[in-house]
Structure 1
């Protein structure tokens, strides 16, 4: 990434304590009580979501280049950014998991960008990465769906691969590329909680500003 592009990235210094979206004109006390304008009065199965960079035209190119232009080297760079964010947040967890692709989409793309990021991150922080979740069903491309359609499309899509005892009472860091509505990570978190996972932290590179969402 060139210097000018790097300077156009908006790193998230203060994010919502629930969904991780950048906060504008919100007091810390209000965030702790109710969350931001997006997650206000919403319930999530994960304990906390953290993102590194605000979604904009420049940061969007990073993810699109990785996912659709085969720029897999970007996953290492993204993992380095995530490492620095984790050091600031001071989270403690036992394993790193990643959001899976359906085998049909994986075959078409050739790789899972979330898996590549997670594995680089695991090396950076000396944490074990576990391929623990799979998609039972092929789903539509989520970016084409509205928020409630996303939640419905992902209902009961995921399953655990191995013995549930491995994750029982463990703290998990779940890695993905973008946190938009949280539909994907929340559905996986529901499954993990049912499996006996203790705490679940979501780690993504990008998220949109909380002020881009309307209260419901």
Structure 2
């Protein structure tokens, strides 16, 4: 018997033909918790990033989810949105690249939250980037973001080829993080760079 990952309420379950052939969606949330999250399904095209897809809006339920997952280190919550991420990352012939954490931040958090989202969804990925700054984009004005030093560098010994890459991050706020990462990949030889984020949040400092 399974329980909701957020409120521990018992989840109803039944075995059907979808279970037998392995295509049934795994239910991790009760109906009450699930309906508190608001789908965004925003798809945008850009210059540096060819396409950005964001699945959910940043509301109170999502704020609580992020706090419990990232700051209270409840790693089991990586499974909450696994099906949603997998549904938009089933395209073949792409290389999945998570936005990395700064090493000091990873030690503080104890796990890489974007990596764990992908692992929960059984999505293969490769780290091509290293984070070289601990600065937080949402706390900066547009002018401050434009004056910033680079956030990333290509990992030593990595050579990119003329392929399709998809960057993965948990939340899109200003776009600075993803745009810097995409620009670096294209400069290194990427043919096409897209991005997928779990959440889309507006910022007051646009």
**Which residue of 2 is the match for residue 56 of structure 1?**
59
Decide which of 118, 130, 135 is 2:131's aligned counterpart.
135
Aligned length: 178
Deviation at 1:185, TM superposition (A): 0.6
Q: 1:197 to 1:141 in 2, by over 3 A?
A: same
Q: Mind listing any 5+ residue stretches in structure 1 that lack a counterpart?
A: 19-42
Higher relative contact order (CA 8 A, sep 6+): 1
Three-state SS of the structure 1 residue aligned to 2:147 is helix
**Which residue of 1 is the match for residue 120 of structure 2?**
120
**Which residue of 1 is the match for residue 68 of structure 2?**
65
2:31 aligned with 1:3: yes
CA distance in 1, matches of 2:146, 2:81: 27
Alignment TM-score, normalising by the size of structure 2: 0.76
Alignment TM-score, normalising by the size of structure 1: 0.73
Residue range with higher mean Cα deviation, 75-84 or 182-191: 75-84
CA distance in 1, matches of 2:33, 2:146: 33
Give the structure with the higher percent helix.
1
Is this contact kept in 2: 1:100–1:112, CA < 8 A? Answer: yes
Three-state SS of the structure 2 residue aligned to 1:174 is strand
What stretches of structure 1 move > 6 A for 4+ residues in a row?
A: none
| Rg (Cα) greater in structure | 2
